[in-house]
């Protein structure tokens, strides 16, 4: 099994908020150099605005569709007095960092009239505020369909899919996932896979782009977040499931990822 197979087997997308944005001509819509804890879709349907993403400035116009990954430094501003409208969506991707590290997508693509994504956004706008079960399931389906469309429409030359043909990293990741309720110290992991701890850290970072400590921390916090959102378990029960015993440490780690 390739490294990306493990990630995609666990892929989940969670819609948080979104709507159709149509400010009045005198409204100022602006924010400078900030990062957001959620992923964003912006689809411009009328007028224009300024977007700066990772230091690159775009004058976004009708038909431009932007994907801004969580944690990306960006700015936005409308042109006062000019009409401007857009669809927007905020959403989580689980595992949070894995998909973004595997797919290096361009920050925007341009849609032509009649394309499927335009129809999906319009469908989403009609039910975005609904609490109906069917509508909520439909929104989840729309979100995944939009991500698929974004990947499909992006220039294939601008997309890279990272994978690993090294069976050792696949085995290490499977072991981490299977032992999430344990402390998982680096020396112990290195010993399980018969490596020196320093070599284990270098090997893991080379294959995944992250240190093992950071990877384990993110996975544990992602797991805790899912339990908090999807179950009625108490905090101590959730901590037990991810091998955490210190409530202060758990709180600090969780806030460092999700509450900045």
Last residue of a domain, one of 129, 158, 187: 158
**What is the per-residue pLDDT for 7?**
61
Looking up tokens 């499909």, which residue turns up? 152
**What is the per-residue pLDDT for 10?**
65
Residue numbers in the chain where pLDDT is lower than 50: 1-2, 158, 164, 260
Which domain covers residue 124, as residue numbers? 3-158
- For residues 152 and 177, membership in a common domain is answered with no
**What is the per-residue pLDDT for 259?**
55
d(CA 200, CA 111): 45
- For residues 8 and 118, membership in a common domain is answered with yes
Asked if residues 107 and 53 have their Cβ atoms less than 8 Å apart, the reply is yes
User: What residues contact residue 232 under an 8 Å CB cut-off, 6+ apart?
Assistant: none
d(CA 29, CA 48): 12
d(CA 155, CA 215): 30
DSSP readout, 97-149? THHHHHB---SEEEPPTT-HHHHHHHHHHHHTT---HHHHHHHHHHHHHHHHH
Last residue of a domain, one of 120, 138, 158: 158
d(CA 90, CA 37): 9
Number of domain units in the chain? 2
Last residue of a domain, one of 158, 189, 216: 158
**What is the per-residue pLDDT for 94?**
73
């Amino acid at each position: 099994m390739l490294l990306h197979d493990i990630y995609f087997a666990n892929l989940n997308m969670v819609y948080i908020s979104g709507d159709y944005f149509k400010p009045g001509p005198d409204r100022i819509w602006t924010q400078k150099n900030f990062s957001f804890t959620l992923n964003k879709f912006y689809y411009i349907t009328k007028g224009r605005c300024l977007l700066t993403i990772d230091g690159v400035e775009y004058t976004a116009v009708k038909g431009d569709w932007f994907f801004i990954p969580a944690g990306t430094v960006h700015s936005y501003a409308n042109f006062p007095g000019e009409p401007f409208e857009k669809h927007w969506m905020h959403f989580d991707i689980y595992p949070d960092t894995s998909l973004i590290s595997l797919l290096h997508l361009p920050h925007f693509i341009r849609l032509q009239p009649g394309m499927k994504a335009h129809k999906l956004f319009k469908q989403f706008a009609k039910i975005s505020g609904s609490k109906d079960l069917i509508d909520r399931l439909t929104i989840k389906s729309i979100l995944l369909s939009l991500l698929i469309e974004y990947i499909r429409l992006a220039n294939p030359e601008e997309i890279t899919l990272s994978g690993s043909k090294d069976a050792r990293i696949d085995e290490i990741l499977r072991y981490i996932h299977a032992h999430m309720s344990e402390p998982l110290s680096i020396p112990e992991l290195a010993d399980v896979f018969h490596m020196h701890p320093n070599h284990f850290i270098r090997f893991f970072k080379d294959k995944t782009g992250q240190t093992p400590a950071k990877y384990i921390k993110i996975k544990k916090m992602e797991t805790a977040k899912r339990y908090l959102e999807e179950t009625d378990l108490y905090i101590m029960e959730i901590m037990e499931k991810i091998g955490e015993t210190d409530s202060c440490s758990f709180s600090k780690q969780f806030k460092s990822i999700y509450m900045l």
